[in-house]
Chain A
Amino acid sequence: KQEVTQIPAALSVPEGENLVLNCSFTDSAIYNLQWFRQDPGKGLTSLLLIQSSQREQTSGRLNASLDKSSGRSTLYIAASQPGDSATYLCAVRYSNYQLIWGAGTKLIIKP
Chain B
Amino acid sequence: EPEVTQTPSHQVTQMGQEVILRCVPISNHLYFYWYRQILGQKVEFLVSFYNNEISEKSEIFDDQFSVERPDGSNFTLKIRSTKLEDSAMYFCASSGLADNTGELFFGEGSRLTVL
State whether A43 touches B101 (Cβ < 8 A): no
- Contacts A31-B101, A91-B43 given: A44-B58 contact, CB under 8 Å? no
Q: Kindly state the separation between the CA atoms of A103 and B48 in the bound complex, as whole angstroms.
A: 21
- Contacts A42-B109, A44-B91 given: A32-B101 contact, CB under 8 Å? yes
CB neighbours of B58 from chain A (8 A)? 98
Q: For the complex formed, measure the closest distance between the CB of A67 and the CB atoms of chain B, giving whole angstroms.
A: 19
- Contacts A97-B33, A97-B100 given: A43-B45 contact, CB under 8 Å? no
Measured CB to CB, the nearest residue on chain A to B39 is A41
Q: Is the interface of A mostly helix, strand, loop or mixed?
A: strand
Q: Is the interface of B mostly helix, strand, loop or mixed?
A: strand
State whether B31 touches A97 (Cβ < 8 A): yes
CB neighbours of A43 from chain B (8 A)? 91, 106-109
Number of residues from B at the complex interface, CB < 8 A:
26
Q: Kindly state the separation between the CA atoms of A93 and B56 in the bound complex, as whole angstroms.
A: 13
Name B43's contact: one of A42, A46, A49, A101 (CB within 8 Å): A101
State whether A96 touches B56 (Cβ < 8 A): yes
Counted as pairs of residues, one from A and one from B, with CB atoms less than 8 Å apart, the total is 56
State whether B108 touches A51 (Cβ < 8 A): no
Asked whether any CB of chain B lies closer than 8 Å to the CB of A99, the reply is: yes
State whether A99 touches B45 (Cβ < 8 A): yes
Measured CB to CB, the nearest residue on chain B to A52 is B101
CB neighbours of A96 from chain B (8 A)? 56
CB neighbours of A101 from chain B (8 A)? 42-44
Binary contact readout A76-103 vs B (1 if CB under 8 angstroms, 0 otherwise): 0000000000000101010011111111
Q: List 14 A-B contacts (CB under 8 A).
A: A36-B106, A42-B109, A43-B108, A44-B106, A46-B106, A49-B103, A51-B101, A97-B33, A97-B55, A97-B56, A98-B48, A100-B45, A101-B43, A102-B42
Q: A residues within 8 Å of B by Cβ?
A: 31-32, 34, 36, 41-46, 49, 51, 89, 91, 93, 96-104
Q: B residues within 8 Å of A by Cβ?
A: 31, 33, 35, 41-45, 48, 50, 55-56, 58, 91, 93, 100-109, 111
